[in-house]
Amino acid sequence: MPELPEVETTLKGVLPYLLNKSVQSIDVHNASLRWPVSKELPKAIKGQTVNRLVRRAKYIIVEFDAGSLLIHLGMSGSLRISQSDVLSNQESLRKHDHVVLHMDSDAGENVVQIRYYDPRRFGAWVWTTQDWREHKLIAHLGPEPLLDDFNAQYLFKKSRHSKTNIKTFIMNAKNVVGVGNIYANEALFISGIKPLAVAGSVSRQRLERLVRAIKDVLARAIDMGGTTLRDFVNADNNPGYFQQTLLVYGREGELCTVCKLPLKSVRISNRATVYCGGCQR
């Protein structure tokens, strides 16, 4: 479900309920996520206040005095707010609500929950007491796509000796983070680059366009609350609207919006890839 814009949307949604609030308790209903949720987690964060909430790549990082919680939504994860005036009015727990954070709220007592729902359980809740920037899941990640250190000069240098295709290259978090399958397809279309082009051979000028396209498509998707394909909803249960803006993803066989040729589809590293044979070279 979530690429960078969906993670960003999720973070914005839960921020008011987490930042400067303290953890009353945490229920781990199913600890078997990508890695087992630490048994230490409940007592480690009980009573702790959230000092800061940040995104790095597709991780939501919740900082406490005692350590940090790294939350990854995997393919099908979401965080949702559940609150009511009376606890008994709370919606019942769904089958795949694996973790529930109970937060102290301004409004009353025991009424705000952050529920982590993840049918496929590819997501993760990782507790660390070290500086999260040095955690092995974070330390070796590439630059943030929306920051200035992700630019054409960087990408040019980084790609010169790469013989993999450009789509796989930009989806590799060692090169740049946050670009998943939807936005890789979209950015390559916008910049007119064929997904199977060899990364190391794409010209500097074309990488310039690609970098701009990645930044642009991600920023616009964030503005629209992300992409909802099947069931993505933000923390307040609202869908994103970017899917209405998708130009190639999920549109194989439809006509290219620019040249009117039918969009082609191939599988690259077992991921659906849609492109225009006329516009992308």
Instruction: Give catalytic residue positions.
Output: 2-3, 58, 271
Q: Per rule CB under 7 A, is residue 230 in the interface with DNA?
A: yes
Cβ-Cβ contacts under 8 Å for 16 (sequence gap 6 or more): none
Question: Which CB atom, from 88 or from 92, has the smaller least distance to DNA?
Answer: 92
Q: Per rule CB under 7 A, is residue 228 in the interface with DNA?
A: yes
Q: Per rule CB under 7 A, is residue 241 in the interface with DNA?
A: no
Give the pair of three-digit tokens for residue 8: 């960003």
DSSP letters of 119-138? Answer: TT---EEEEESS-GGGSTTT
Among the listed ranges 20-28, 42-50, 147-155, 178-186, the one in contact with DNA (CB under 7 A) is 178-186
| Shortest distance, position 85 Cβ to DNA, whole Å | 30
| Shortest distance, position 238 Cβ to DNA, whole Å | 13
DSSP letters of 196-240? Answer: TSBGGGS-HHHHHHHHHHHHHHHHHHHHTT---SSS---TTSPPP
Q: Per rule CB under 7 A, is residue 229 in the interface with DNA?
A: yes
Size of the site for DNA (CB under 7 A): 40
Count of CB atoms situated within 10 Å of the CB of 49: 15
The burial of 188, by beta-carbon neighbours within 10 Å (0-12 exposed, 13-18 middle, 19 or more buried), is given as: buried
Q: Are 238 and 254 in contact (CB under 8 A)?
A: no
Rounded to 5 degrees, φ, ψ at 153 are: -60, -45
By CB under 7 A, what part of segment 26-85 binds DNA?
A: 32, 34, 57-58, 72, 74-76
| Shortest distance, position 135 Cβ to DNA, whole Å | 10
Among the listed ranges 2-10, 19-27, 102-110, 254-262, the one in contact with DNA (CB under 7 A) is 2-10
Among the listed ranges 44-52, 84-92, 209-217, 264-272, the one in contact with DNA (CB under 7 A) is 264-272
Q: Are 123 and 34 in contact (CB under 8 A)?
A: yes
CA distance 109 to 112: 8
By CB under 7 A, what part of segment 116-135 binds DNA?
A: 119-122
Question: Which CB atom, from 17 or from 232, has the smaller least distance to DNA?
Answer: 232
Binding site for DNA (CB under 7 A): 1-3, 6, 32, 34, 57-58, 72, 74-76, 95-96, 119-122, 137, 162-165, 168, 173, 180-182, 226-232, 240, 269-272
